[in-house]
Each structure stands twice: as structure tokens, then as C-alpha cells.
């Protein structure tokens, strides 16, 4: 499994590269296909970072990540 550091994950923010990745609880998810993550932004959340601490404020549960492919591990 590919490992992503904070700086490597930050490159997948939907602007520096075409891929849009986010991390949650140690895993990295590819959300590129989601219309809700266009341009690397989803409401007040930005792609290319660990969203674990931000999920508590979200109107959905962690089950939302089941829709997306896991592409690596956040280290």
C-alpha cells in the first residue's frame, strides 16, 4: 500500500495535480470522481489533507468514505 506523508498528500489537492485525495483515520481516499469535491474543495473542507478532526462537524458519518477507493496509508 502506498504511503503518503502530509506534504505528499497536499499535492493531490485538485489544483497541483488532477487527482483529489483526502485522508481519514490513517487511510487516503481518492475523491476525484465526486462532483462534491470539484476543484479540491467540499464546502469549507480542502482536499490534500487529513480530514479526521473535521468529520465531527460534518452532516454525514464516516460511512461516506465507503464510496471511494482507498489509495494508500497516511503516515
Spatial CA neighbour of 54 closest among 41, 67, 72: 41
Total domain count, the chain: 1
Helical ranges in 4-71 per DSSP H: 6-10
pTM of the complete model? 0.90
Q: For the segment 8-65, what is each residue's pLDDT rounded down to a tens digit?
A: 999 999 988 899 999 999 999 999 999 999 889 888 889 999 999 987 777 677 889 9
Q: How far apart, in whole angstroms, are the C-alpha atoms of residue 72 and residue 43?
A: 24
The CATH number covering residue 51 comes to 3.10.120.10
Amino acid at each position: 500500500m502506498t504511503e503518503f506523508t502530509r506534504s505528499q498528500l497536499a499535492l493531490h489537492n485538485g489544483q497541483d495535480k488532477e487527482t483529489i485525495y483526502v485522508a481519514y483515520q490513517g487511510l487516503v481516499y481518492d475523491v476525484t470522481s465526486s462532483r462534491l469535491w470539484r476543484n479540491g474543495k467540499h464546502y469549507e473542507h480542502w482536499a490534500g489533507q487529513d480530514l479526521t478532526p473535521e468529520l465531527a462537524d460534518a452532516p454525514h458519518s464516516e460511512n461516506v468514505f465507503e464510496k471511494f477507493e482507498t489509495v494508500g496509508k497516511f503516515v
